[in-house]
């Protein structure tokens, strides 16, 4: 017996030609195998964005996110400042991964859980430190707390 969440439902969408052309260009550019695959990803992305907005406006709900950083590990006291920011935040740091890219650069991922505004603040604070060359926040998901 098929789970309702796993069932594939077909529906049609009417688009202007220029939008369909742009959709097809994105399929080719991003390596999607079909229009359906691209549309599913676009819908998922929008649902995550909406869950972030809802959690922020309702002042409840915890969000999961990933911060990716590339930085110069020779920058004086940068590592300690990054750690201090994480410890002083109101966010749960679930996991960090540190990779040495070359003699000067490190890549670090930080997996976070917390309120959207707090996560955005942490991302901007760390991303603005001297020696950070790249900083990207990926909004991943939300979930309801059991408390």
Query: What tokens were used for 145?
Result: 């707390």
pLDDT on residue 111 = 96
90 is in an annotated binding site: no
Lowest mean pLDDT among 5-9, 49-53, 85-89, 106-110: 49-53
Helix, strand, coil shares, percent, the chain, to 5: 45, 30, 30
Distances (CA, A) of 55 to 20, 59, 90, 120: 33, 6, 15, 13
pLDDT on residue 142 = 59
Over the stretch 54-97, which tens digit does the pLDDT of each residue have?
766 555 667 889 999 999 999 999 999 999 999 999 899 999 99
Tell me which H or E stretch contains 71.
Answer: strand 62-72
106 is in an annotated binding site: yes
Over the stretch 8-23, which tens digit does the pLDDT of each residue have?
888 888 989 999 999 8
Phi, psi of 115 (to 5 degrees): -80, 145
95 is in an annotated binding site: no
pLDDT on residue 11 = 85
Global pTM exceeds 0.75: no
pLDDT tops 80 at residue 146: no
More confident of the two residues 35 and 135: 135
Nearest to 129 by CA among 42, 65, 70, 46: 70
């Amino acid at each position: 017996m098929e789970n309702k969440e796993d069932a594939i439902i077909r529906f049609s969408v009417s688009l202007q030609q220029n939008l369909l052309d742009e959709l097809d260009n994105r399929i080719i550019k991003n390596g999607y195998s079909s229009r359906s695959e691209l549309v599913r990803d676009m819908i998922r992305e929008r649902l995550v964005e909406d869950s972030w907005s809802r959690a922020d406006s309702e002042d409840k709900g915890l969000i999961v996110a990933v911060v990716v950083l590339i930085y110069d590990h020779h920058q004086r006291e940068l590592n300690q400042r990054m750690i201090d920011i994480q410890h002083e935040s109101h966010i749960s740091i679930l996991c960090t991964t540190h990779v040495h890219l070359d003699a000067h650069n490190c890549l670090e991922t930080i997996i976070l859980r917390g309120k959207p505004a707090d996560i955005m603040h942490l991302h901007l604070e760390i991303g603005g430190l001297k020696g950070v060359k790249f900083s990207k926040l990926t909004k991943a998901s939300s979930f309801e707390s059991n408390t």
